[in-house]
Amino acid sequence: MSTPFREFALMCEKLENISSKLSKIQLVNSFLKKLVPDELPIAVRMIIGKIFPPWSDKNLDISWNSILKILKSLTKIDDKEIIEIYNRCGDPGELFRIVMKEKQLTKQQVLLGGKLTVLEVYRMFESIARIKGKGSRERKERILYAILSKAEPLEAKFIIRMILGEMRHGVSEGIMEEALSDYLGVPLETLRRAHMIFGDLGKIIEIAVREGIEHIIHPKFRLFNPIKPMLAQTAQNIQEVIKEHGKTAFEYKFDGARVQIHKKDDEVRIFSRRLTDVTISLPDIVELIKREIRSREIVVEGEVIAISKDNKPLPFQQLMKRFKRIRNIEKKVKELPTRLFLFDILYLDGKLLIDEPYIKRRALLENIVRNIDLAPMLVTDNISEAQKFLEQALEHGHEGLMAKKLNSRYTPGVRGKNWFKIKKALRLDLVIVAAEWGHGRRHNWLSDYYLATRDLETGEFLIVGKTFKGLTDAEFKDITKRLLELKIGERRRTVFVKPEIVAEVAFNEIQKSPKYKSGYALRFARIVRIREDKSPEDADSIQRIKILYERQFKGKSMR
């Protein structure tokens, strides 16, 4: 028997009012123990604000305008009342709960009403994700209307929050890892390693239930199930890296898109940094891998860049024209050729290599790969040599350097000191959470952006500044359209949006600021580019900003 969705909503509401991490874990486990096996992976994802696995090509693609249209149809509320209530509560899910509780439901809705179940809500989401093509918006709206017609106000609150990917109850992936460790009775480090390999907490509990705990304790890597990429911290300069690592492997850092490539016999699939399947957009890379890599089973990692007719790197935004392309691919391949640089190997013919030292993986890659470029590399502990290598990378049109500890293991999803990135200027990846309408010639555009960083402990996005600098008129126009599709509320001239768009932001300094809840503000912030390859979860954290702030004062007084 399927679990009533109301129990899920009540559990989420309780989580919202609990501050203790241990109490949150206990409540999550208590709920999971009530579920039938088919519900477990679904519920685990839903609790952390996800509906599908990260590598799934399923996408709800429901705009805020569609959501508001359904709310107005359900409750007969007008725009003025919506704005008043949203300004009071500041949360789209809470807006639905308040309105649906206060407004009299129609007779038709009462007849439609019935107890939703966890599986029923998920299957309706699946139905929405399957809809493509002409008339898809209206068909998606009809299904969502049907869900919300059957929902109680509290259920509607969390359905909307799931659609927007913001549960606001403080259960992050890290807390869910601890909850599953306790639920399955396996050490936390064991659970985390399984998460590294499978890349999805829902998958972990599905495997544990269907195949046994042994497959979590000794996880076996599965081809075409991408693992999270290892992440790098930003270093101020080469001196900092060599002081930390000693002799270091320096590689070019490209202005491209990171890819994880899986091959089994003649089947090749390519996954983006966000673990999205982008194979269809890169047929030229697929053919290159088939032609030049003879290994039966292999997973390699690299960077794809767009190149000009004279073989020089093109800006990242040009490459994104390929990644977004699903039609007329052959034409785009000719117009916008790409070049692949490989830099790591993670799996080979039945053996997972992530526990091997980096320098050994690199040597293995060099022995296996033929006629495919490898990222240029220099191994040295000489600051002057490394500086020249950095200048060489910049002269060739690349971003800077990656610096990798020679004996470092590959730790999926972890941002540690084993890998550093070195760029010309101070930069952070931040999420746009709101925007203001511009003035003068920009009056028709959302052109002043609120930039936010993630709190790793709570999952909350905290504003660290605003900027209207860095984009072209064409980019302002494009971002305005995208932000309006992500709109979740509006107050005077400010539009609040679902945290979805990641921007790479350059700045001069981090300052203390009582203005923002984060306590920090960026000085002279400007957008360098929109990072289409990164998700909000990839944004830099407030914990990292605190470290960067303190680092600014080395050798200086902080007073």
Average model confidence (pLDDT) for the chain?
90
What lies within 8 Å, CB to CB, of 315 at 6+ separation is 255, 306, 529
Q: Give residue 470's pLDDT.
A: 85
CATH topology for the 231-423 domain: D-amino Acid Aminotransferase; Chain A, domain 1 (3.30.470)
In this structure, the strands spanning 377-380 and 248-253 are antiparallel
Span 427-551 CATH architecture: Beta Barrel (2.40)
111: exposed, middle or buried (C-beta count within 10 Å: 0-12, 13-18, 19+)? exposed
Q: Which two structure tokens, joined as six digits, stand for 203?
A: 């998958």
pTM, two decimal places: 0.77
Q: How confident is the model at residue 335 (pLDDT cuts 50, 70, 90)?
A: confident
Residue of 191 and 328 predicted with greater confidence: 191
Mean pLDDT of 11-35: 95
Does the pLDDT of residue 123 top 80, yes or no?
yes
Average pLDDT over residues 480-484: 91
Lowest mean pLDDT among 74-78, 199-203, 216-220, 338-342: 74-78
Using pLDDT thresholds of 50, 70 and 90, give the confidence band for residue 315. confident
Beta strands in 131-256 (DSSP E): 231-234, 248-253
Structure confidence at residue 326 (pLDDT): 64
> What pLDDT is recorded for position 318?
81
Q: Does the 5-164 domain belong in CATH 3.40.50.1400?
A: no
Q: Quickly state the pLDDT bin for 107 (edges 50, 70, 90).
A: very low
pLDDT tens-place string over residues 250-295: 999 998 999 999 999 999 999 999 888 999 999 999 999 999 998 9
Write down the pLDDT at residue 325. Answer: 57
Predicted pLDDT at 451? 96
* Tokens matching residue 304: 């794809």
The predicted pLDDT at position 179 comes to 96
Residues of the chain with CATH 2.40.50.140: 427-551
Q: What angle do CA 133, 41, 210 make, to 5 degrees?
A: 120
- The per-residue b/e assignment along 37-58, b for 16 or more CB within 10 angstroms, e otherwise, is eebbbbbbbbbbbbbbbbbeee
Which pairs count as long-range contacts for 359-367, CB under 8 Å and 24+ apart, including other chains? 359/249, 359/406, 359/407, 361/410, 362/249, 365/300
Residue 554 banded pLDDT, cuts 50, 70, 90: low
Q: Determine which one of 140, 253, 405, 487 is catalytic.
A: 253
**What confidence tier does 302 reach under pLDDT thresholds 50, 70, 90?**
very high
Sign of CA dihedral 382, 398, 274, 233: positive
Task: Assess contact for 138 and 132: CB atoms under 8 A.
Answer: no
**CA dist., res. 55 & res. 33, Å (int):** 27
Looking at the chain, the domain(s) classified CATH 3.30.470.30 span 231-423
Average pLDDT of span 325-344: 85
What is the per-residue pLDDT across 186-244, written as a single tens digit (0 to 9) for each? 999 999 999 988 989 999 999 999 999 999 999 999 999 999 999 998 888 899 999 99
253 flagged as catalytic = yes
pLDDT at 430: 96
SS3 of 275-341: the string is CCECHHHCHHHHHHHHHHCCCCEEEEEEEEEEECCCCCECCHHHHHHHHCCCCCHHHHHHHCCEEEE
**Radius of gyration (Cα) for the chain, nearest Å?**
24
Q: How is residue 498 written in tokens?
A: 């679902």
Return the pLDDT at 255.
85
Between vectors from CA 140 to CA 106 and to CA 102, what angle results, nearest 5°?
Answer: 30
- What is the sign, positive or negative, of the torsion defined by CA atoms of 86, 90, 93, 98? negative
Which segments of the chain belong to CATH 1.10.3260.10?
5-164
């984060």: which residue's tokens? 518
